[in-house]
Amino acid sequence: MDHAASAPLRPAAARAMADAWAQGGNPSSLHGSGRAARALLEDARERLAACVGAHPTEVVFTSGGTEADNIAVLGGASSAWASGQGRDVVVTTAVEHPAVAEAAASLGERARIVGVDADGALDREAWRAALDGRAAVASAMWVNNETGVAWPVSELAEDAHVAGAWAASDGVQAFGHVPVNFAASGLDLLSLSAHKVGGPVGVGALIVRRGLEPGRVGFGGGQERRLRSGTVPVALAAGFAAAAEEAVRGLAREASGWARLRERIVSAVAGIEGASVNPAGDAGSPAICNVSFAGARADDLLLLLDAAGIDCSTGSACTAGVHRPSEVLLAMGRSEAEASASLRFSLGWTSTDADVDALLAALPDAVARARAAF
């Protein structure tokens, strides 16, 4: 029940990586083995591009979604600043993944943060107001990693373009879970991660619209469009492409199944006194369900469910082990107690009714025990 943290590896991805590892070679080398590795890499690039509605030259492989987000925010800002147009501000939101939030925060007063309402919807008036002549990059996540709330990124991108800014989005929890088409979105920069869709850990991509040149945030051989340096892990890229193809091919069927499983969880939660879903209405992603259990600590609940063989999360897996209220829920107006009493259940390609059966069987007792220990 924690696919949003990391989904199990798809067999097709494992096979693709095994074949690529058997090949060997550095894709930047000019000899035969290097050319063979380069062919595998470019094949993976073309396949991933087709899955996300992009041109192959727009795909920049990275070490994961975090690096992609960092390049989008900091690289976009530095490129705009270097243009001499006086654009030095990054506009983002109060519910971003730490990869975006902390990259923006590193800019100090050059970062503008736009709030959300109780349902996680972006304050569009404040968003537009923040997009003035100093705005270099505007970054808003496609699907929130804690609540599953989805935003109309094409509309937000249009707002950014009207102001003359680049439009970026963290699409890590969107790709493979809701329809994603880079070309149709109007975005300039889109971050992706392989292991959220059943690919390997350690590889992601930043989709960069042709004609744009973000500034470099790291230095080296410039292997990926002179934007991201380092020898590209061909096997991981091949695994990413294979997982992406399966995720996109089965999206309509899988999303329908996730929606049904999520509704089972929501219905069961309604029968637990003091439990509530964040947000109360349709979140947008069928794969994420965030629930607050009044009178309990999320950490206690997580450990009790873990003892019952059930994986879940208290929020972003990238802040695991940090005992503090969810910044996302606080931004949505929840109290510290509510934000400290919330669990995220997330679905993916292996999810079944049996998984939900196990959760629902263990949940009432876990909640009662957690409340007794509070």
Q: Are 292 and 342 in contact (CB under 8 A)?
A: yes
Name the residue with tokens 């469910």: 305
Contact present, 77 and 88 (Cβ < 8 Å): yes
Fold adopted by 251-373: Aspartate Aminotransferase, domain 1 (3.90.1150)
User: Model pTM?
Assistant: 0.95
Residue type, 247: A
Between the CA atoms of 71, 74, 78 and 79, what dihedral angle is there, to the nearest 10 degrees? 40
Pairing of the two strands 275-278 and 59-62: unpaired
Per-residue confidence of the chain (374 residues) as pLDDT tens digits? 999 999 999 999 999 999 999 988 999 889 999 999 999 999 999 999 999 999 999 999 999 999 999 999 999 998 877 676 779 999 999 999 999 999 999 999 999 999 999 999 999 999 999 999 999 999 999 999 999 999 999 999 999 999 999 999 999 999 999 999 999 999 999 999 999 999 999 999 999 999 999 988 888 887 788 888 788 999 999 999 999 999 999 999 999 999 999 999 999 999 999 999 999 888 799 999 999 999 999 999 999 999 999 999 986 555 555 557 899 999 999 999 999 999 999 999 999 999 999 999 999 999 999 999 98
Domain made up of 11-249: CATH architecture: 3-Layer(aba) Sandwich (3.40)
Cβ neighbors of 219 (< 8 A, separation 6 or more) are 229
Domain spans in the chain, listed from the N-terminal domain onward: 11-249, 251-373
Contact 262, 286 (CB under 8 A): yes
Positions marked active-site: 318
The CA radius of gyration of the chain, in Å to the nearest whole number, is: 21
**Alpha helices (H) in the chain, listed in sequence order:** 11-23, 32-52, 65-70, 76-82, 98-105, 124-130, 153-162, 182-185, 234-249, 251-270, 298-307, 327-331, 336-339, 353-373
